[in-house]
Amino acid sequence: MGALELGLMYGAATFGVLFSGIPIAFALGLVATIFMMIFMPAAALDTVAQNVYEEMASITLLTIPLFILKGAAIGKSRAGADLYSALHAWLHKVPGGLGVANVFACGLFAAMAGSSPATCSAIGSAGIPEMRRRGYSGGFAAGIIAAGGTLGILLPPSITMILYAVAAEQSLGRLFLAGIGPGLLMVVMFAVYAVIRFRKEKRMAMAEGRYDSPLLKEEHFTTREKLSSLPRVLPFVVLLTGVMVALYGGFATPSETAGLGGVLALALVAVVYGAYRLDQLGPMLTSTLRESTMLMMIIGMSLLYSYVMSYLHISQSAAEAIVALKLSRWVLLTAILLMIVVLGFFLPPVSIILMTAPIILPPLRAAGFDLIWFGVIMMVVMEMGLIHPPVGLNIFVIKNIAPDIPLKDVIWGVMPFVGLMILCVLLLCFFPQIATALPGWVYGA
């Protein structure tokens, strides 16, 4: 049987098992094991556990549970609400300042937690009720938080970037730095949209004669209130600065930096929020164990899935077939990104990276693309999958924390942000320096 037939069977079996409702980790492991039984030597089954262990025995992957611990420590405390309140106090005079404050809070929180769902939950649980109370439409409020939460996979330290660095065999430090410029660009784009949309909703309220609308009321914060809010932000700035200085100052490796971030986060919630008793630390540690176990199971089974695909020459044949088409480099890039968008409808970013990397990276490398730059592009495209229907993960996180907002309104609320992400991809294609300048300056060409 040829590689084409095997590849079609492998893909069909994968989607068939995934659509059956089996959890992703077990679905990928099941497909890989069945194909090993049928098409590989019998002795291969004896090495399943060994193969999974060897693939996961990476010092880079050690950073994942440590960064998850940091995110859980921040996410399970009042950190999100405090961060959002402080930013609102300083940005209230900006038109749509509440929405802008939520965007900035999502960006800062995402940079500390490294998790999109955690950012949505932590900032949204405080931000959405406040925006609704001040007259923001449900779709607008939901869209800001859902889109802001996606920054968790772009701004460092990002768990998804760690996996891409492993799959693409690229420098994790360079990849983290490459995500900063595009991440800040998206924060600015989201904030500008929040201002424009707020002004539109305010004009509509005035045109309809709804002069009692909360949108038309002005808020005031005294200088004392603003200054008193600063201590709520400073600990997060210290945490973020400490991690970045340790990593890029050459004081620690990425794995050591992850451990430092976890320790600093636990110290922060202990000192600032008094969360040092076992009953307070329990939810943080339980969340870390649960999420780490789930994620590492997906990673392990995805790596086994990729190993079988490589052994059967499916990935190599697919890569060679793509190269043989002799597409122009930009047509090739467009086709690959469209495929990632479609996969994002059904699969989480972790699985997309580990399943597609053996197929898409060789043709991209042959076409002369910088894989660090492509990694950033891939992160932005996968962010679309987190908020794009039908299965955008962040959409359902928002629906869980704001059940009173109809799902239709949430979906329409996020679509303008999908458009902004597409614009960001185009800007990165025309101006790749947005992603490549900072790592080039720090590490050299």
* pLDDT: which is higher, 375 or 394: 375
Is the model's pLDDT at 328 over the cut of 80?
A: yes
Helix (H, G, I), strand (E, B) or coil at 348: coil
Helix (H, G, I), strand (E, B) or coil at 366: helix
Is the model's pLDDT at 289 over the cut of 80?
A: yes
Q: What is the pLDDT of residues 157-193, one digit of tens each?
A: 777 888 888 888 888 888 988 999 999 999 999 999 9
pLDDT of residue 9: 87
Q: Identify the weakest region by mean pLDDT among 78-87, 142-151, 403-412.
A: 78-87
pLDDT of residue 390: 66
- Dihedral sign from CA coordinates of 11, 15, 20, 26: positive
* pLDDT: which is higher, 144 or 74: 144
Average pLDDT, the chain: 81
* pLDDT: which is higher, 193 or 297: 193
Is the model's pLDDT at 371 over the cut of 90?
A: yes
pLDDT of residue 391: 64
* pLDDT: which is higher, 51 or 136: 136
Q: Using CA atoms, how far apart are residues 413 and 416, in angstroms rounded to an integer?
A: 7
The string of DSSP codes covering 390-441 is TS-HHHHHHHHH-TTS-HHHHHHHHHHHHHHHHHHHHHHHH-THHHHHHHHH
Q: What is the CA radius of gyration of the chain?
A: 23
Helix (H, G, I), strand (E, B) or coil at 164: helix
At what angle are helices 407-430 and 138-149 packed, to 10 degrees? 40
Is the model's pLDDT at 53 over the cut of 70?
A: yes
Is the model's pLDDT at 154 over the cut of 80?
A: yes
pLDDT of residue 354: 79
pTM: 0.79
pLDDT, mean of residues 377-385: 89
pLDDT, mean of residues 102-115: 78
* CA atoms within 13 Å, Cβ hemisphere of 171: 17
pLDDT of residue 430: 92
Q: Which helix (H) or strand (E) is 141 found in, with range?
A: helix 138-149
pLDDT of residue 133: 79
Tally Cβ neighbours within 10 Å of residue 374. 25
User: What one-character DSSP code corresponds to residue 140?
Assistant: H
Give, in order, the Cα–Cα distances in Å from 45 to each of 36, 37, 38, 304.
Answer: 7, 7, 10, 11
Q: What is the pLDDT of residues 190-245, one digit of tens each?
A: 999 998 988 888 888 777 766 566 666 666 777 787 777 777 777 777 777 777 77
Q: What is the pLDDT of residues 120-150, one digit of tens each?
A: 777 777 778 878 877 788 888 889 988 888 8
Asked whether 181 and 437 are in contact (CB, 8 A), the reply is: yes
